[in-house]
Amino acid sequence: MTIPEPEVKEQLAAAGVAVPMGVSVAVDEVIANPSVLADLVVGHGLTEPLVLKGYGEGLAHKSDVGAVRLGVAGYELNFEAAEMAVAVTEAGGRLDGFLVEEQADAGVELLVGVVDRPPFGPVAALGLGGTLTEVLDEVVLRLAPISRADAEEMVTGFKGAELLTGFRGQPAVDIGALIELLLAVAGPDGVAAQIGEYLAELECNPVIASPDGAIAVDARLITRKAPTGVPPERPKTDFGPLFAPRGIAVAGASTSRPGFGNTFLTAYKELGWGPGTLWAVHPKASEVDGIPAVPSVADIDGEVDYVVGAVPAAACADLVRGAAGKAQFVHVISGGFREASAEGADLEDDLAAAARESGVRVLGPNCLGAYAPAGRQTFLRNAPTEAGRVSMISQSGGLAGDMVKAGAIRGIRLSKLCTVGNSIDVTPGELLEWLVDDPDTGIIGMYLEDPRDGRRLYNALQEAKGHKPVVMLVGGRTAQGRGAAVSHTGALVADHRIWDAISASAGISIVGTMEELLSAIAYLQRWADADIGGDPDTLVLGVGGGASVLGTDAADRAGLVTTPVSEQGQQALKDLGYGVGASVRNPIEIGFGPVSVPDVLVQALDPILQTQPYPDVVVHTNVQAFFSYAGDGIERLFPIIETTAAATKQWPQTRLSLVLRNIDCAPPDIAARIQQTCLDANLPTFTRFTEAMTAVAATKRHARNRALAG
């Protein structure tokens, strides 16, 4: 339902938003008395030039149908109104009335608004406005209601911000007035908050910002006749039994054609589960793969917290209903639901209903389940059994396997991991909510496509801020990626700018690849608890001028600053023989390779870091060079790694990492030995500058959040 503009302007004015002086009149009154518009202008003392607007259902873009006339004189109103009525009718619109206002002075035209964007709820927007809004597409978002800090960041954080501070000799606008207007529209007590769950869209476009203030010259409000009907959030669930179940049942293992169910039985047996704690659910067999079998979950004689459902999609709802009162969690591995077809969507709805009716919490469908070494919970064979303090949530089962196995190669030790697939019941937001309070979780990683409970997720991220670092990889942030995500999880993906807004407000790091996610988690695992600040200063040091330039470029893209080395530090490097034809400012070029002494890096770094303690130092080396210039040159690399890692104790205000460029040039056994040497030395390593700088930036962000949280 579109609210007439005069009514919207009244609401805005009551909230403290400046709007033009004006009067409105219904079309019928103008037809009955053609001079009524001019009479009202005189009676209300409006000053020319005037703006004449038409309003009515379907006139969302008034300028497109001729429903806006600028620079009108009082005596012209009757003629212009008649012309407008004809234009709107010919365009297929409906004209309910006219609004006459004083024309605002020129200034910077902006858009300020709030729109409901499921699953995140109301989102506030600030961008360049006027008729070019859709063309320029320059907008910054924050989840509403916004705080004053959000409003201040929005005003300075969008691409058109330079227009507000005096662009090319133009006067600067009243920033304070613009911030107050943002809060009046999208703040805790603003117009959008007053409308509440009935709000679909509130837009002030344009808002004209000038040295004299900010005024909303046009406004549109669309409401719903009823709330969206979003089901209430589930009460908080204790996910402890999910990650450390007392007993496990696997439904769908076969006696003749082994499949996923049999793989799960084998994986659990390898972790020590057996008769009395592990059951197969099979309609006919008495045992499957040496594990006792029962016809249904209800027939299990023992404590069972977790059921693996590897049965066809059509049988999953009955499996969940049959677990009522017996199991707390059912993990549905099966696909073929909403992501597949309309019939699958019906099956998914029935599965969700079964979860609500039974009180059993459902993981999935279309996911691989949970992993927790301490609880002997797994969805993989040969997975690491050493527990750590990193926990992860993934909407992809395949990528979750990468998190476990590829993460282990990087030294990541997981406390818990949960896949959620289509997330029809257990959602990423409530899992994150629980992990934020989990004493065994110190760092959180996430892969998401559609969070389903976006607002709950956002609130949980706010709780984590400054407490536990969160790094997130979001799939489907590009146009083509969104299409792939829809086919994968049957979900629509939110605009990428909403994720940017969440990152800005909640202080999380959003990365672009799985490699960057794992790299950031590994770096945080090593350095998150160190009492080192979050200043952007970063030192890049290594072999090769071109490589150093690429490292500096990667640092810049990640928002880091390669602050120059002090004159004292540069002189110390020159005294060591560096600086002839190479940089000693930052990045620093030093030659170390197959003929270098073990403390070559320590000699270069120590005189700098003792007087200029960079928060982060990224060292890079060219692994192939150790093979190219000496037969056994690679052996010199290992003592360099060990000696440099040991020296970190004498640089307590610095985080150190190593980029192993071209490690794929090394034979696999040597490459594995290099990486294991770094792991043993507790030295984070990367294979690409982008991964290194993304990880450094994520850790700096957490350090800043922690400092702000006190």
pLDDT of 482 over the 60 cut = no
- Residue 264 lies inside a defined structural domain of this protein: no
> Last residue of a domain, which of 496, 525, 554?
525
Residue 188 lies in a domain: yes
Report whether 293 contacts 315 (CB < 8 A): no
- In whole angstroms, give the CA distance from residue 319 to residue 303: 17
Q: Report pLDDT for 136.
A: 46
Give the pLDDT band (50/70/90) at residue 490.
very low
My answer on whether 557 and 652 are in the same domain is yes
Q: What is the mean pLDDT of the segment spanning 178-198? A: 96
Identify the weakest region by mean pLDDT among 9-18, 330-339, 408-417, 558-567: 330-339
Same domain, 26 and 119: no
* DSSP state letters, 471-512: EEEES--SHHHHHHHHHHHS-PPPPHHHHHHHHHHH--EEES
Q: Are residues 563 and 658 in the same domain?
A: yes
Do 544 and 518 share a structural domain?
A: no
Question: Do 218 and 101 form a contact (C-beta atoms < 8 A)?
Answer: no
Measuring CA to CA, which residue among 330, 323, 270 is closest to residue 300? 323
Is 418 within the bounds of a domain? yes
Neighbours of 59 (CB within 10 A): 24
pLDDT higher than 50, residue 221? yes
Task: Quickly state the pLDDT bin for 485 (edges 50, 70, 90).
Answer: very low
**Judgement on whether residues 542 and 681 belong to the same structural domain of the protein:** yes
Domain count of the fold of the chain: 4
The first and second tokens of residue 31, run together, are 């037809």
CB atoms within 10 A of CB 688: 19
| Lowest-confidence region among 57-61, 219-223, 344-348, 438-442 | 57-61
In terms of DSSP bridges, do strands 616-622 and 538-542 run parallel, antiparallel, or are they unpaired? Answer: parallel
Query: How many other CB atoms sit within 10 Å of the CB of residue 664?
Result: 11
Question: Distance between CA 280 and CA 251 in Å, rounded?
Answer: 6
Burial of 223 (0-12, 13-18, 19+ CB in 10 A): middle
* Rounded Cα distance, 160 and 162, in Å: 6
Strands (E), 75-185: 97-102, 108-116, 122-128, 139-143
Domain boundary among 509, 525, 541: 525
Rounded to whole angstroms, how far apart are CA atoms 186 and 601? 53
Report the alpha-carbon distance of residue 703 to residue 616 in Å, rounded.
12
- The pLDDT tens digits of the residues spanning 113-139 come to 999 988 899 999 998 886 545 544 578
682: left (phi over 0), alpha (psi -120 to 50) or beta: left
What CATH number has the domain bearing residue 24?
Answer: 3.30.1490.20
pLDDT digits (tens, 9 = 90+) for 525-582: 999 999 999 999 999 999 988 999 999 999 999 999 999 999 999 999 999 999 888 8
Q: Determine contact, residues 177/217, Cβ cutoff 8 Å.
A: no
> Same domain for 394 and 444?
yes
Q: Is the pLDDT of residue 483 over 60?
A: no
Q: Could you tell me the two tokens for 437?
A: 């309070």
With b for 16 or more beta-carbon neighbours within 10 A and e for fewer, the 157-196 pattern comes to: ebebbebbeeeeeeeebbbebbbbbbbbbbbeebbbbebe
Q: What is the DSSP secondary structure assignment for residue 326, as one 8-state letter?
A: T
Task: Write the CATH number for 472.
Answer: 3.40.50.261
Q: Are residues 480 and 603 in the same domain?
A: no
How many residues does this entry show for the chain?
A: 710
pLDDT of residue 149: 93
242 assigned to some structural domain: no
Phi, psi of 225 (to 5 degrees): -75, -25
Residue 24 lies in a domain: yes
- Say which DSSP state 312 is in: -
pLDDT single digits (tens) 622-677: 998 888 766 677 888 999 999 999 999 999 999 999 999 999 989 999 999 999 99
Which class for 232: exposed (0-12), middle (13-18), buried (19 or more C-beta within 10 A)?
exposed
- pTM value is 0.90
The structure tokens listed for 182 are: 């943002």
Residue 355 belongs to some domain of the structure: no
Neighbours of 594 (CB within 10 A): 17
Last residue of a domain, which of 490, 507, 525?
525
Question: How many whole angstroms separate alpha carbon 349 and alpha carbon 353?
Answer: 6
Tally of CA atoms within 13 A in the half-sphere of 409 that contains its CB: 15
What are the angstrom distances between the C-alpha of 151 and each of 245, 250, 306, 535? 46, 52, 46, 24
Q: For residue range 594-633, what is the model confidence (pLDDT) as tens digits?
A: 888 999 999 999 999 999 999 999 999 999 888 876 667 7
pLDDT digits (tens, 9 = 90+) for 407-431: 999 999 999 999 999 999 999 999 9
| pLDDT for position 631 | 64
3-state secondary structure of 405: helix
| Residue 97 sits in the same domain as residue 179 | no
Bond before 587 cis per omega within 30 degrees: yes
Tell me if 405 is assigned to some domain.
yes
Mean pLDDT of 690-707: 97
* CATH number, domain with residue 181: 3.30.470.20
* Structure tokens given for 198: 């009935």
Least confident window among 159-168, 286-295, 298-307, 318-327? 159-168
Query: At 110, which amino acid appears?
Result: L
What's the rounded Cα separation, in Å, for the pair 395 and 357?
24
Give Rg (Cα) of the chain: 31
Identity of the residue numbered 153? E
Nearest to 489 by CA among 684, 336, 592: 336
Do 393 and 457 belong to one domain? yes
Is there a single domain that holds both residue 592 and residue 613? Answer: yes
Same domain, 53 and 133: no
Which residues, other chains included, contact 173 with Cβ-Cβ below 8 Å and sequence gap of 6+?
107, 108, 164, 165, 209, 210, 211, 214
What's the mean pLDDT in 396-403? 94
Q: Which domain holds residue 669?
A: 533-709
Same domain, 695 and 657: yes
Q: Per the domain annotation, does 247 fall within a domain?
A: no
